[in-house]
Amino acid sequence: MRRILLAVSVLTLFAAPAVAADDLMAGFYGNTAVVTGGIVESHTHYRADHTFDVSATAMGQSYNFKGTWAIDAKGQLCRTYADPAPPNTPNPLCTPAEAHKVGDTWTVTANGNTRTVTLKAGIE
């Protein structure tokens, strides 16, 4: 279960868009990054005030996480979880950011598991 939650956390982090040159996250505001595959589905929402929330389901269980995000000097998306943080997850958790826009679908592989990420318009 902990591996699943860590995978969800990592996968949602790869969903960072590069829409506006001055704001790497602009494409995600008001939209939802949906990660599917295997037994996990998560929905992540980033806000311009540098907060985020994640709702995930795995094996019939629901999980909710929230916190703050920042782009570090290396161009990575770093999320700092508030209580509760996902089990066995570094806090903050930083991953490379990639450019995506609403309607994009891509795959991410983490811990040997491939998941599909779709950036959907609106809050789901």
Res. 103: pLDDT tops 90: yes
- Class of 2-121 in CATH: mainly beta
Res. 43: pLDDT tops 60: yes
Q: Which helix (H) or strand (E) holds 110?
A: strand 105-110
Res. 93: pLDDT tops 90: no
| 52-55, long-range: CB < 8 A, 24+ apart | 52/79, 54/8, 54/9, 54/12
Compute the distance between CA of residue 67 and CA of residue 81 in angstroms, rounded to an integer: 4
Res. 36: pLDDT tops 80: yes
Structural domain boundaries in the chain: 2-121
